[in-house]
Amino acid sequence: MRDLRICFVGDSYISGTGDERCLGWIGRLCERRFTRDIRLSFYNLGIRGETTPEIADRWQGECKTRLPGGADNRVVLQFGINDIAEVAGSGRHVEEDASVEAAEALVTEVSNLYPTLWIGLPPANEACSPMFPSTGVELSFKQTDAIALNRRFVASAQKLNVPYFDLQTPLLANRDYMNSLTRGDKMHCDGTGYAMIASLVNNWDAWDSWFQE
């Protein structure tokens, strides 16, 4: 039986923060691919609030312990939404050029070691900005910043020859998804939003190919 192990590495959208069912999109995604023909192990390595440089600093140590020699090891990445956050009193978390530089270094490292898929950052939650995730912390998000960073990530993925799924385009056009951002914890989409992300990724050829090998 094929021993397929996948590390999903990223931020709160990887961890599924705000989902009332605590599944996020990766739980729903892997549920759709469950079969007795594959021994699928998936690892949720999302940390809420982390930026691209922070994820780059930790990914290898966390994946190495979960992806042993002899297994069919893979990595899915998603990051960037926290980079664009404007912190009251101190400005943007990570400037665009620094985000792209960190993303390219991270994706290069990962893809040199494992088959890799890169999921784009979701739409910014302008409707609920400013947000107060912790005492004394105020964050705001602008959709124009999310669109700009996503465009840069698309170009980076093409340059690095790593499959990239652009979530911005379909989700921005989906009224139900955008409404899901105003429910739940008022920072992330709720479970219906995560289900939409799972459906999009599940129908992506690059993801599907991992289960046809």
Tell me the per-residue pLDDT of 100-138, one tens digit each, with 9 for 90 and over: 999 999 999 999 999 999 999 999 999 999 999 999 899
Report the C-alpha dihedral over residues 15, 18, 19, 23, rounded to 10 degrees.
10
Ordered domains of the chain (ranges, CATH): 2-83+94-122+143-209 (3.40.50.1110)
pLDDT score, position 199: 98
Q: Indicate whether 156 pLDDT > 90.
A: yes
Token digits of residue 40:
């699928």
Q: Indicate whether 31 pLDDT > 80.
A: yes
Q: Indicate whether 213 pLDDT > 80.
A: no
Alpha-carbon gap, residue 137 to 194, rounded angstroms: 25
Cis peptide before 130 (omega within 30 of 0): yes
The predicted-structure confidence for 44-98, as pLDDT tens digits, reads as follows 999 999 999 999 999 999 999 999 999 999 999 999 999 999 999 999 999 999 9
For range 129-157, the mean pLDDT: 96
* Closest by CA position to 93, among listed 147, 51, 149: 51
Rounded to two decimals, what is the model's pTM? 0.97
| Helix orientation angle between 24-32 and 191-202, rounded to the nearest 10 degrees | 40
pLDDT score, position 75: 98
Alpha-carbon gap, residue 143 to 97, rounded angstroms: 17
